[in-house]
Amino acid sequence: MTSRKHLQESWRHSSGFLNDDANKYAFTNISTLKLHKLKLNITNPPHSHTVSYCLGVLTRRCPELQSLKYYGCDEDDDGVDDIGGNKLPLYDRFYRTAFLQQPWVFKRLSSLFFPATYIKDEDMAAILRQMTMLKQLTISELLFIFSDPADDLDDFGQLSIRELLADKQMTLKNGHMVQETRFRRLCETIEEITFDVYGFKADGIMQTILSNCPCLKRLTGPRITVTEIVNGAEWVSTELTDLNIYLKADVDQETPEGMEKQRIVFRQLGKLTRLRSLDLVAQRCNTDGRTQTLDLTLRASLDEQANLKNLEKLAFKSDASQRMQLEDATWIVNNWPKLKELQGSMNNSVVCDSIVAVLRSRGSLSFRL
């Protein structure tokens, strides 16, 4: 690992560090970099030398980087004036300094964690377009706490999805950026995705991921609807162990057509036989009023999930319309032998008491209803 002394020496001579085109300050031994709300004391800096810019330069000086975690810095909420007098958010400076300059230097980069800062969809897409492999991607769980959904601050959106599926990537050859065919698409290498838990601009994204990412093991994301699943392709993410989503019931669950659509959805879930944790109403995902997922009942084809023998945790919190009955709880206890935790809401206190009695019969099962 590069020593702290080496880093401190580089910052001490910051003028050379920030403007070194000959890569004198290259930290070739750094494979993992975590930047967490750092404060830098920059005395009389040039116009562009903000903290975000300096951290971007530092990142770019690590060509062997495999994993980056960036949590923003204290300046990121302020913004500075661009040359044209327009306000440029400072978080843009980090991403554009680190990743959107040529040539692309990160040949081994495969894990990106941006859990508490902003990134535009177009910038995320530009980064993905140049990556050779992607294993882990975490983007902005806090993005929409402080922003209006109408703002141009997309989280993981359609442009990024397009690059995830693309069979071409941009590479530098003879001083020019050219398109080359990927050995493997990014969607074929990704193992973990966490993004946009508030669900803005989420139409079709979850269905696209689940039907195109065969190596995916952990997925936390926004809303997916019954209609999207029924009208979409078969899921290929059969390696999933953790799935945290808002599965929205956008059909009439009492009609024959609605019940058949429920069966199709439960059949898709039933193929995820490696699942250990399943949250059908992931926290903070819903932004469009009433929260309602599918009823976990045998009448709604719960038995299509009989093969989830590895399931340890099931959650459907915030769905106050859940109509689970005693027979359904009994089926769960008998068919999911490894289930240790169940969290949810019930709409009938009398039935709830009976269900609690059934769940209590398995001493190892923790529940909160």
Please write the tens of the pLDDT for every residue from 243-276. Answer: 999 999 998 888 999 999 999 999 999 999 999 9
Is the model more confident about 187 or about 145? Answer: 187
Q: Which of 86, 109, 132 is the last residue of a domain?
A: 109
Stated pTM of the model: 0.85
Number of other residues whose CB lies within 10 A of the CB of residue 169:
20
Please, which pLDDT band fits residue 189 given cuts at 50, 70 and 90?
A: very high
129/70 same-domain check = no
pLDDT exceeds 70 at position 8:
no
**pLDDT at 309 (0 to 100):** 97
Task: Read off the pLDDT of each residue in 276-281 and give the average, rounded to a whole number.
Answer: 94
49-58 pLDDT per residue, tens = 677 888 888 8
95/143 same-domain check = no
**H helices then E strands: how many in the chain?**
11, 15
Q: Which of 54, 77, 109 is the last residue of a domain?
A: 109
Task: Read off the pLDDT of each residue in 309-321 and give the average, rounded to a whole number.
Answer: 86
239/274 same-domain check = yes
Is the model more confident about 288 or about 204? Answer: 204
Q: Which of 53, 76, 109 is the last residue of a domain?
A: 109
**pLDDT at 85 (0 to 100):** 45
279/253 same-domain check = yes
Task: Read off the pLDDT of each residue in 204-230 and give the average, rounded to a whole number.
Answer: 94
**pLDDT at 184 (0 to 100):** 94
126/234 same-domain check = yes
Closest CA to 124 of 89, 166, 181, 163: 163
Task: Read off the pLDDT of each residue in 342-352 and give the average, rounded to a whole number.
Answer: 75
**pLDDT at 216 (0 to 100):** 98
Residue listed under structure tokens 């599918």: 294
203/255 same-domain check = yes
45/75 same-domain check = yes
Amino acid identity of residue 119, one-letter, is I
**pLDDT at 44 (0 to 100):** 56
DSSP, res 187? G
103/117 same-domain check = no
Domain containing 95 equals: 1-109
42/131 same-domain check = no
pLDDT exceeds 70 at position 121:
yes
CA–CA separation, 176 and 182 (whole Å): 18
The domain total for the chain is 2
Task: Read off the pLDDT of each residue in 128-147 and give the average, rounded to a whole number.
Answer: 74
21/54 same-domain check = yes
**pLDDT at 123 (0 to 100):** 85
CA–CA separation, 346 and 322 (whole Å): 5
Question: Which long-range contacts link 256-260 to residues 24+ away (Cβ below 8 Å)?
Answer: 259/299, 259/300, 259/301
Are 252 and 258 in contact by the 8 Å Cβ rule? The answer is yes
128/217 same-domain check = yes
pLDDT exceeds 60 at position 339:
yes
CA–CA separation, 259 and 144 (whole Å): 34
Closest CA to 21 of 105, 147, 126: 105
Task: Note the maximum CA span of the chain.
Answer: 74
Helices (H), the chain: 4-12, 14-19, 51-60, 90-98, 121-130, 158-165, 205-210, 226-231, 256-270, 326-335, 349-360
Amino acid identity of residue 226, one-letter, is V
Which residues lie below 8 Å from residue 329, measured CB to CB, with a gap of 6+?
354, 355, 358, 359
CA–CA separation, 138 and 292 (whole Å): 26
207/327 same-domain check = yes
